[in-house]
């Protein structure tokens, strides 16, 4: 089985979502859960960004047992020193250093030319390597970077000690076939890329983060960077739960899996929502309230007879145990019978058609129905004493 590493950046990129800041204790709690779930690498923060981040990474490094703990660091001595100091107690540690490589970033943000960038990469990837064996290097805004310059930078980084090369779609600009073409060019033209782990980090500005990440896996990416519930800068990141579920459900196509304990996904999703006070929409894949629910009568009839008619994923595999048949205005007799049986009613004693009509009438002025109200409707339509 081909193994895809899951690099979770909920505690770093995820926390950068406006309003999603976390306390040190909350970060430690979440890091423990990520470790238990089987995340391969936890990006615990950006040590140089604040004292809070530094302390959180340091505490996380002490309690994580299996996952690799990493801190983000710009390509400069101070950032790298702080990153290492924060992660040095971790059983498995990594320094993740980066620099922007697109023309627009080099000109307007860094105010440096290509030759200057190459010297910086060589100097500071080597410096990071002198402190830690496991080094990840990212080309910020990689998908808007000149592809030949990207190849040059990648080879410099690897020859300087990088063990993972990350290709971020920093502003969520690229589309799947374009991304695949870019990665294919890199794999063909880089001297050393096949000797290290190839990673991708896709943002969701155009709603393409998950499909771009999956496209990269097809092209040979060994690591995907993602967050719980897809939180992160602007429109967020590729969602961990979507990546894991896609690889698992369509193993026939991708021939690759993760080692994530799927049954913990809903638990961790709710934990992140509560900690950040940032709640997912009802139709969010995998973790949304409606992700596995059926209201339409035709769908309900199919699912009641054979779940695979409309369910490609077993909700219980992802820690979801709620009833998937919802009584609503579009429900049919099969849903009413199914619900009544679960409520221990003797179906033979009731007029199901009348109950269904009463339910539909109820929904002309209401958006949902609880069991107490449903019981009142059912009781009125008892035909045999």
What is the CATH classification number for the domain harbouring 132?
3.20.20.70
Average pLDDT score over residue span 88-103: 98
Q: Is residue 90 part of a domain?
A: yes
Q: Is residue 368 part of a domain?
A: yes
Q: Is residue 226 part of a domain?
A: yes
Is residue 23 domain-shared with residue 76, that is, in the same domain? yes
Is residue 324 domain-shared with residue 250, that is, in the same domain? no
Q: Supply the pLDDT for residue 385.
A: 55
Is residue 270 domain-shared with residue 324, that is, in the same domain? no
Average pLDDT score over residue span 335-363: 95
Distance CA 226, CA 6 (A): 7
Cβ partners under 8 Å of residue 38, min gap 6: 6, 66, 258, 259, 260, 261
The secondary structure of 247-299 as a DSSP string is HHHTHHHH-EE----GGGHHHHHHHHHHHHT-PPPTT-TTTSTTTT-B-SHHH
Could you tell me the residue range of the domain that residue 123 belongs to? 2-276
Average pLDDT score over residue span 81-100: 98
Q: Is residue 287 part of a domain?
A: no
Q: For the chain, what is the mean pLDDT?
A: 96
**pLDDT tops 90 at residue 32:** yes
Element (DSSP H or E) covering residue 71: strand 68-74
Average pLDDT score over residue span 35-43: 98
Is residue 257 domain-shared with residue 356, that is, in the same domain? no
Model pLDDT for residues 195-244, shown as the tens digit of each residue = 999 999 999 999 999 999 999 999 999 999 999 999 999 999 999 999 99
Is residue 211 domain-shared with residue 340, that is, in the same domain? no
Q: Where are the alpha helices (DSSP H) in the chain?
A: 24-37, 51-63, 77-87, 103-105, 114-129, 147-159, 176-189, 209-218, 240-249, 251-254, 265-276, 297-305, 333-342, 352-362, 371-380
Average pLDDT score over residue span 53-76: 98
**pLDDT tops 80 at residue 90:** yes
**Other Cβ atoms closer than 10 A to 149:** 17
Is residue 242 domain-shared with residue 169, that is, in the same domain? yes
The secondary structure of 336-356 as a DSSP string is HHHHHHHTT--GGGB-HHHHH
Q: Is residue 96 part of a domain?
A: yes
Q: Supply the pLDDT for residue 322.
A: 84
Q: Supply the pLDDT for residue 384.
A: 62
Task: List the single range of 16-20, 140-144, 154-158, 313-317 with lowest mean pLDDT.
Answer: 16-20
Q: Is residue 228 part of a domain?
A: yes
Predicted TM-score (pTM) of this structure: 0.94
Is residue 253 domain-shared with residue 313, that is, in the same domain? no
Q: Supply the pLDDT for residue 47.
A: 98
Is residue 79 domain-shared with residue 195, that is, in the same domain? yes
Domain end: 276, 309, 337, which one?
A: 276
**Using 50, 70 and 90 to split pLDDT, how confident is the model at 383?**
confident
Is residue 14 domain-shared with residue 161, that is, in the same domain? yes
Is residue 186 domain-shared with residue 322, that is, in the same domain? no
**pLDDT tops 90 at residue 323:** no
Q: Supply the pLDDT for residue 1.
A: 83
C-beta of residue 93 within 8 angstroms of C-beta of residue 60: no
Q: Is residue 27 part of a domain?
A: yes
CA distances (Å), origin 26, targets 31, 121, 245, 276 = 9, 34, 26, 9
Q: Is residue 283 part of a domain?
A: no
**Using 50, 70 and 90 to split pLDDT, how confident is the model at 68?**
very high
Is residue 16 domain-shared with residue 117, that is, in the same domain? yes
Is residue 272 domain-shared with residue 302, that is, in the same domain? no
Average pLDDT score over residue span 283-301: 94
Average pLDDT score over residue span 61-83: 98
- Domains of the chain: total: 2
Cβ partners under 8 Å of residue 106, min gap 6: 100, 112, 113, 114, 117
């Amino acid at each position: 089985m081909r193994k895809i590493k899951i690099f979770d950046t909920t505690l770093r990129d995820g926390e950068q979502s406006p309003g999603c800041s976390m306390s040190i204790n909350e970060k430690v709690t979440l890091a423990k859960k990520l470790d238990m779930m089987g995340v391969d690498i936890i990006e615990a923060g950006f040590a140089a960004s604040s004292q809070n981040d530094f302390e959180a990474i340091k505490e996380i490094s002490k309690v994580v047992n299996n996952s690799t703990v990493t801190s983000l660091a710009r390509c400069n001595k101070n950032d790298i020193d702080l990153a290492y100091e924060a992660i040095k107690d971790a059983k498995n540690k990594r320094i993740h250093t980066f620099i922007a490589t697109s023309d627009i970033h080099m000109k307007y943000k860094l105010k440096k030319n290509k030759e200057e960038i190459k010297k910086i990469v060589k100097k500071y990837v080597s410096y990071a390597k002198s402190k830690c064996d496991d080094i990840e290097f990212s080309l910020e805004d990689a998908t808007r970077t000149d592809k030949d310059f990207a190849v040059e930078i990648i080879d410099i980084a690897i020859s300087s000690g990088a063990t993972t090369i990350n290709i971020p779609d920093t502003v969520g600009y690229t589309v799947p076939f374009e991304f695949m073409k870019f990665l294919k060019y890199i794999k063909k033209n880089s001297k050393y890329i096949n000797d290290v782990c190839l990673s991708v980090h896709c943002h969701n500005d155009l709603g393409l983060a998950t499909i771009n990440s999956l496209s990269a896996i097809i092209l040979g990416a060994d690591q995907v960077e993602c967050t719980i519930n897809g939180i992160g800068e602007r429109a967020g990141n590729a969602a961990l739960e979507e990546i894991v579920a896609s690889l698992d459900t369509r193993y026939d196509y991708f021939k690759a899996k993760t080692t994530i304990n799927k049954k913990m996904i809903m638990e961790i999703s709710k934990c992140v929502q509560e900690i950040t006070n940032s709640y997912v929409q009802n139709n969010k894949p995998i973790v949304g309230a409606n992700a596995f629910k059926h209201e339409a009568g035709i769908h309900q009839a199919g699912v009641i007879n054979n779940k695979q008619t409309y369910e490609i994923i077993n909700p219980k595999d992802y820690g979801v145990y709620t009833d998937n048949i919802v009584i609503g205005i579009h429900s049919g007799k099969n849903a009413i019978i199914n619900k009544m049986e679960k409520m221990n009613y003797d179906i033979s004693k009731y007029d199901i058609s009348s109950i269904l009509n009463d339910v539909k009438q109820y929904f002309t002025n209401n958006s949902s129905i609880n069991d107490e109200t449903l019981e009142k409707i059912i009781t009125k339509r008892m035909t045999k004493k």
